[in-house]
Structure 1
Amino acid sequence: MDIQELSDKIEITELLARYARGVDARDWDLWKTVFTPEAIIDYSSAGAVVGSRDEVASWLEKGLAAVPMTQHFISNVEIVLNRDRAKVRAMFYNPMHLPGMDQPSFCGGYYHHDMVRTEVGWRSERLVEENQWFVNPLEPPLSR
């Protein structure tokens, strides 16, 4: 692994940490910096929204305003680089306290990112969440 590949992988890993911090801090301007302006985000596997970066940021801001606690852990990051593009697969674990629930809820799965190197660094141009499991979900799922 050369220095450029190592640097790229560190930058991409830090981008994933920024994603988690943006969501959990409800800092939607920070969250948007993870993505290209034209990015598509797909949370449909969790019964949530699919849309552009700005559409999803707006949906998250409204939907998570009622959620008192979330914490995203991202691990087992796999990055396949191809010059100025990267395929990224990372596991997530997300404990949360959903509104109206007496007990905490938990979900986990994979984030699949298509990343591109831009003038301002690596950014995700496509995110697909692959939710593998959900303990104590809201019934019905969060509205779209």
Structure 2
Amino acid sequence: MTLSMQEMSDRFELQDLIVGYCYAVDNRDWDALDEYFTQDALIDYSEMVGVRGGLTEIKQFLVEGLSPILAYQHAVSTTKYAIDGDTARTKTVCYNPMTVSQGQSSDTLVFGLWYIHDFIRTEQGWKISRLYEQKCYRINVPDWLAEQLPS
């Protein structure tokens, strides 16, 4: 498969958006998310944590929903790209370990998922117009947290 210079450039830009999103969440830099998403973006975490909404709602959810999580890190890899002019879709593996606490003790758990991103090319460059988290697996989720998550 031979890629044009434009396709290679597009892939690098799309990958930077995916990684930028992960770093913003890992650093709890909620305002940085504005840089990566369109204003009308739909962010759908319904399979993983039961939440879906626009950027404003999701930022508020992240502030509140990630408070019991002491540490987390997104490791993304093996992205598949489908670019069609000024729109694109990617599917990316995400390995997401977390340390959670409910008071006295802490647990380390792992979420495995796929990020499915839709992108649109804007005057400011590529932006994420939709993010969907597709569930793959969960490991070592404590009971108190499992009760809050969709099955």
Per the normalisation by structure 1, the TM-score is 0.93
Unaligned runs of at least 5 residues, structure 1? none
Alignment of structure 1 residues 1-144 onto 2, 5 Å: 1-100=3-102, 102-137=106-141, 138-141=145-148
Three-state SS of the structure 2 residue aligned to 1:79 is: strand
Alpha-carbon contact 1:32-1:57 (below 8 Å) kept:
no
Identity across the alignment (%): 35
Stretch deviating more after TM superposition (132-141 or 49-58): 132-141
Q: Which has the larger radius of gyration?
A: 2
CA distance in structure 1 between the aligned counterparts of 2:106 and 2:64, rounded to whole angstroms: 22
Alpha-carbon contact 1:67-1:98 (below 8 Å) kept:
yes
Alpha-carbon contact 1:38-1:52 (below 8 Å) kept:
yes
Report deviation, 1:126: 0.8
Three-state SS of the structure 1 residue aligned to 2:146 is: coil
Alpha-carbon contact 2:83-2:89 (below 8 Å) kept:
yes
Query: How has the CA–CA distance of structure 1 residues 102 and 66 changed in structure 2, closer, same or farther, with 3 Å as cutoff?
Result: closer
Report deviation, 1:99: 2.1
Three-state SS of the structure 2 residue aligned to 1:26 is: coil
Three-state SS of the structure 2 residue aligned to 1:20 is: helix
Unaligned runs of at least 5 residues, structure 2? none
Runs of 4+ off more than 3 Å: none
Report deviation, 1:102: 3.1
CA distance in structure 2 between the aligned counterparts of 1:78 and 1:69, rounded to whole angstroms: 28
Q: How many residues align?
A: 143
Three-state SS of the structure 1 residue aligned to 2:28 is: coil
Report deviation, 1:31: 2.1
CA distance in structure 2 between the aligned counterparts of 1:55 and 1:102, rounded to whole angstroms: 28
Report deviation, 1:66: 2.7
RMSD: 1.5
Alpha-carbon contact 2:74-2:94 (below 8 Å) kept:
yes
Per the normalisation by structure 2, the TM-score is 0.89
Report deviation, 1:142: 5.3
